[in-house]
Amino acid sequence: MEKTLKITPLDPLFFRSPLPFTAGEQDWAPSSPLPLPGTLYGAIRSLILTKREFSQFLHGKGYQDIGTPTKKGTLAIKTYMLLRDAKDGSFDYLVPAPSNIAALNKEAEKASVKTLEPFLLPGVVFEPPKPQSINAFFYIKEDAEAIPKRWISLTGLKKYLNQESISSKDLTKPLQLYEPEPKSGIARNRKTKTSEIGKLYRVDHYRYRDGVSIITIISGTAENLNGIFTLGGERRTAIVREIETDPLENFALPQVNNRFLVYLMTPAIFRNGWYPERIISLLEKEGINLQLISAYIPNYIVISGWDIQKRAPKTLYRAVPEGSIYVFEVKKGNAQDAVKNFHGKNISDVNPEEGYGFALVGKI
């Protein structure tokens, strides 16, 4: 059974990038305004643990949902997004905007928003991880400009997936949702507790605007999760409330032709770089032959973490960022059977149960 959690930060949040940072060599440690799925998964897992009596574990109970240090339980994250409550009682669910949208003028607030389409540029050779024909570029006939990173309302996303026109009103600037708060510090000697010369550093914390919170959809636990927990670096606090709503209830499986679009709401980790080979291979075993027509991936992101049990860094992955787009064509088999394996599913090769690779299907 799924449940929806509303997480309201009480402090500025801090989610440092897993990229190596050495005090004294670099002065800035990059961070993100939102947690990675694995960070959120670990925080919820810890919250469940704090609500249990330790006597349960002595009798071999209490492990089913949170698992053990070496094996995960039934707890799973489906996806997460932002919620913005307005003073007039209205609200918006917001997710990362698809990467293939562009504006027809420089002022994004007044812009006519268009979608870039797959385009084969003659004479350009492109070699994906698996040899096949692929349109390497997205194109629009009008003189458009790329829109800087935006958030899109779920209403706008639904229009996008149904090939309906979206407007600038469907998009929100990041600074309207949260703002960075730079913090400076200096490394200390662990023995003398005195500062070390030349080891100044700066990090960005993020303060959420009033009315902005994180929404996550989880399953696999019956525990009442209402309360306060810590999230991210420096153990910043947030209020957790279970709410009786499903933000994605209106996203039914779309009717598509042989071509369809896959939008990633959360980052995905694929074994073969950016190429989702596992799910394509699984469909081939079911008699469905898919061809990747095009992909719009702005850049890669780095995903890692700290393994508390092993007291060592977790494996570092190059991952496909949220908002990325894939376009597939069904060469053999039923298209509707194909999209069932993508729509509303976590298609990441690594840690899908943590919320990585949540995908929605759209028309193209």
User: With 60 as the cut, is the pLDDT of residue 166 above it?
Assistant: yes
Average pLDDT over residues 211-238: 94
Q: Which residues pair with 227 in a beta bridge?
A: 240
CA distance 3 to 75: 11
Mean pLDDT to the nearest integer, 11-31: 75
Ordered structural domains, the chain, with CATH:
2-90+175-243 (no CATH), 98-148+252-362 (2.60.40.4350)
Give the mean pLDDT of 254-270. Answer: 95
Quick check: 163 pLDDT over 80?
Answer: yes
Instruction: Tell which wins on pLDDT, 25 or 330.
Output: 330
Percent of the chain with pLDDT strictly greater than 70 = 86
Residue 106 has pLDDT above 60, yes or no: no
Average confidence (pLDDT) over 196-202 = 72
pLDDT at site 69:
80
Q: Determine phi and psi for 355, rounding to 5 degrees.
A: 105, 5
For the chain, what is the mean pLDDT? 86
Higher pLDDT, 197 or 212: 212
Q: What is the pLDDT of residues 40-99, one digit of tens each?
A: 999 999 999 998 887 777 766 778 899 888 889 999 999 999 999 977 777 899 999 999
- pLDDT at 285 (0 to 100): 93
The pLDDT tens digits of the residues spanning 308-355 come to 888 888 889 999 999 999 999 999 999 999 999 999 999 999 999 999
360/92 Cα distance (integer angstroms): 19
Q: What pLDDT does 108 receive?
A: 47
pLDDT of residue 308: 80
Cα three-residue angle 209-101-126, rounded to 5 degrees = 125
pLDDT of residue 351: 96
Which pair of tokens denotes residue 65?
A: 């949902």
pLDDT recorded at residue 328: 93
Residue 34 neighbours by CB under 8 Å, 6+ apart: 15, 80, 82, 214
